[in-house]
A and B are shown apart, each in its own frame.
Chain A
Amino acid sequence: MVNRWVAPIGASRPGAAHRRSGRPCQDAVLCRELRGVDGQPVMLMAVADGHGGRRYRRSEVGSRLACEAAQAAVEGALAARPLAEGNGSWSRWLERDLPEAIARRWLEAVEAHWHSDPGEGGFEPLLYGSTLGLVVMTPRWWGHTGLGDWDLVRVEADGRARLLQEETEPTATGEATCSLCQPRAAALFAPRSALHPITAADGDVALVLCTDGIRKSCATDGDFLTLAAWLARCGAGSEPEGAGTLQAALDRISREGSGDDVTVAIGCIGSLGEGSPEPPPAALAKAASPAAAQAAPTQGHRPAIGRAVAIALTLAAAGGAWLALVWPRSAPPLQATSTSPGLRAARAEVERLCGQPSAIPLELRRRRELFVALRQGRRDPARLKAEAASDPLAALIAADLPVAGPGIPPQPRRSLQALGACPALLEALSRQWAATPAAPTP
């Protein structure tokens, strides 16, 4: 079976706060269909987020040039080496060679821009600061790299959505993020780089790459994943109004959410025979010249994932618990004797979490500080449980605090089981506890 990526689509919209203050959109998006030296189609999608502060006053240029630098660097590699080269070689390219090429090209581009339009003071890359996230999709593998606070979500044909990539750099907290303008920026790409081989067993998949404005607009990570699955449908769908729908959705996300610029790029893979067209002969004819093979997104059919996600989301829109249908729950919760607001809140939280199991690890990871504080005795589990009505997830975590000590066997987790905790929740909690040291960190 030959896997075929559909040309990605993307959209970038100025944030509500930017519109109000008359500032430009400092995000950028780029979606291209390229060709390898051996003629095979290669898709590229990239998003970039200019920092936007007063010190980064040319960041809308920096983000655009970041996407263009990514395209030029990818094209350069595709012209020089066959895709048939081993995955290990391409993996190293994603992690090391490509970042170095991008960082170098970006620095050259922003400096050239400065000299073509000099402003007050001297040139410094900081003026153009931007993040960059990109996904390269080939028939044999797909991979991602970049730096900064972009997110990448994988959506399966049945609608399940999973966060594959987020910024975890320890110094990138709050509104801080890694940037192309930093010294030795290329070294910051490695933790965000990975190559995923495509096998015959893989089903249809959509990849949703977005700047941080989208996730920060969602009340919870569960909402973000549901939204990403819907955006995947926008990207995968064949409706002619798809692009308009996407832009209108982005405007709404920013208006009702973070107010930040919002940008998304969506790539989908289907298999031959499921609706994806053969590449047009004209495109194949350009195969020997990757740089010339840049093309607009294809107009053909989208793969089966669009239909599958559409069905799942239609169920959700119709009031059905879409996610609950996708992930069967465990046995129904036991009836508890108490009906206190705290217990009701805890039970509702279990139901919410187990209704979206793929979001559980994310939600728990967000509470890392609490796991550590409980383990180290800096937070009182009894108090957290007593305050379940105001923070039910903290109460659940406190209720699951393992009793540790030499010779003490693992305890049954009756509290959570009585609340109907699903295996995914119990397993995710266990993973967090296993990764949490008991002794205070220095």
Chain B
Amino acid sequence: MPFPDVKLANRPLHFLYLCDCSGSMAASGKMQALNQAIRQSLPGMAAVARDNPEARVLVRAVSFADQAAWHIETPTPVEQLEWRDLQAGGITAMGAALKLVAAALQSPPMEVRALPPVLVLISDGQPTDDFAAGMEALLRVPWAQKAVRLAIALGHDADLEVLQRFIGSEPAAAGRSPRRPLQASNATSLAQYIQWASTAVVGAASMPASRVSEIPLGPAAGNIPLPDLPPTVLDPTDDVGPLVW
């Protein structure tokens, strides 16, 4: 009995970088470190994609400075991605970047069968536009609500409060710390966080594992806003190497 003529397909996993390209990123080599970290992470991400053929890892990137704009607009298979350097200059239109991503996460063009996307926000400063409006627009989109949202703060001037609002709150649970933005204080720790997000997180998001839904019927026991992540080798507040930023 021949198998029917149906189309079976793996599931797209959208990975989006939201990169702060304000003028302050030019200081102390932060922009150079970010470009290098992302570029160096791509082989690892491609390897994870190869190891998880049931997920099709597609990468996009948004840069924000005076305005928000697509740096990589077309969802690009990670193995085909060639990272072009971001350039620093301008202020910090983070709210506009969130709106841009919100529009991209509408369905369509997002596929119904997609895995929850991964959004990584990287910033060294404070939003200079209406962050709250951008956040509100983002969280109105169901795919953004389902997304794995991570934030990396570069240096000690980064606005941890807005980054925390971006990733949402998850209280401490047994064996887990409350979720906080990752704080990179130098190029080494930034590279490690980017590597972690593009490999361990992508690997976890690629695996088809369900989780318990939130229900209004009782205590929120068991609710997990994000898919289970493998334990990071780094504590989010650890300094790795000398303080630079």
Contacts and interface: CB of A to CB of B under 8 A. Distances in A.
Interface of A: 15-17, 20-21, 49, 51-56, 121, 124, 126, 129, 131, 148-149, 169, 171-179, 181-184, 187-188, 212-213, 216-220, 223-224, 226-227, 229-230, 233-234, 237, 239, 245, 249, 252-253, 256-260, 310, 313, 316-317, 366-367, 369-370, 373, 379, 390-391, 393-394
Name the 10 nearest CB pairs between A and B, nearest first.
Answer: A259-B54, A183-B218, A174-B146, A260-B208, A219-B7, A52-B209, A176-B213, A256-B8, A223-B6, A172-B213
B213 A227 contact: no
A310 B106 CA distance: 40
A258 B8 CA distance: 8
Contacts of A370: 107-108
Given A223-B7, A233-B1, A316-B4, A53 B211 contact: yes
A252 B8 CA distance: 9
A353 to B, nearest CB: 15
A182 B210 CA distance: 14
Contacts, number: 179
Interface residues of B, number: 47
Nearest to A397: B108
A9 to B, nearest CB: 15
B87 interface: no
Given A16-B54, A216-B11, A239-B1, A258 B213 contact: no
Contact of A227 (B4, B174, B206): B4
A171 B215 contact: yes
Contacts of B208: 15, 17, 52, 175, 213, 216, 258-260
A319 to B, nearest CB: 9
B213 A313 contact: no
A179 B51 CA distance: 29
A226 B3 contact: no
A184 B217 contact: yes
Interface of B: 1-11, 51-55, 106-109, 112-113, 115-116, 142, 145-146, 174, 206-219, 221-222, 224, 227-228
Given A55-B228, A259-B53, A175 B7 contact: no
Given A129-B212, A369-B142, A182 B9 contact: no
Nearest to B219: A183
- The residue among B210, B211, B217, B219 with the most chain A CB atoms within 10 A of its own CB is B210
Nearest to A212: B210
Contacts of B8: 217-219, 223, 252-253, 256-257
B11 A317 contact: no
Given A218-B6, A316-B4, A369-B106, A187 B212 contact: no
Nearest to B113: A216
Contact of A17 (B113, B207, B215): B207
Given A51-B212, A177-B211, A259-B52, A184 B218 contact: yes
B207 A258 contact: no
Contact of A169 (B1, B4, B213, B228): B213
B210 A177 contact: yes
Contact of B213 (A55, A179, A212, A317): A179
A52 to B, nearest CB: 4
A179 B212 contact: yes
A55 to B, nearest CB: 6
Contacts of A223: 6-8
B211 A176 contact: yes
Contacts of B115: 175
Among A49, A366, A391, max chain B CB count under 10 A is at A366
A148 B210 CA distance: 10
A51 B209 contact: yes
A173 B145 contact: yes
Contact of B108 (A51, A121, A182, A394): A394
Contacts of A219: 6-9, 113
Contact of B209 (A53, A220, A229, A239): A53
B47 to A, nearest CB: 14
Given A175-B227, A177-B210, A237 B109 contact: no
Contacts of A131: 210
Contacts of A229: 4
Contacts of A182: 212-213, 215, 217-218, 221-222
